[in-house]
Amino acid sequence: MVRPSFLLRLHPGLRAVLGAALLAAAGAASAADAHTVTLIAKDGRFEPATLEAPAGTRIRIEIENAGDTPIEFESTPLRKEKVLAPGARSVVVIQPLDPGRYPFFDEFHPDTGRGELVVR
């Protein structure tokens, strides 16, 4: 175990590198603790249209735009917004939620691009 007083005697640059490494390790661990779901957007529709996740857990939504036009994943209750070019992939991370239904939509295809995240 490293004692805090030892860290204070380190060179400031080395302290910064060690601190960054510790933060990166903590971030990797918390990302691994997230519940991951995959969402594919194509031709103005989401597949699957309904995502499910457990309550009280970070949620990681992997979004892929398999269509030929841009999409914009958007959700007012989740306070998330992400634009993806055709063929692009991205991730949206959502902090733990209470049970409920959280709608999302494709801003560029509002009539057909609708879905929801169901948290139980």
Give the CA angle between residues 5, 8, 11 to the nearest 5°.
Answer: 140
Domain count across the chain: 2
Whether residue 26 sits in one domain with residue 41: no
Average pLDDT along the chain: 86
Q: Give the percent of the chain with pLDDT over 90.
A: 72
Which domain range does residue 18 map to?
A: 1-33
Q: Contact at 8 Å (CB) between 82 and 72?
A: yes
Nearest alpha carbon to residue 116 among 62, 58, 70, 49? 49
- At 24-37, the pLDDT tens digits run 555 544 556 899 99
Whether residue 28 sits in one domain with residue 53: no
For residue 104, the domain's CATH number is 2.60.40.420
Alpha-carbon distance values, 40 to 33, 37, 46, 61, 85 (Å): 22, 10, 6, 10, 13
pTM equals 0.72
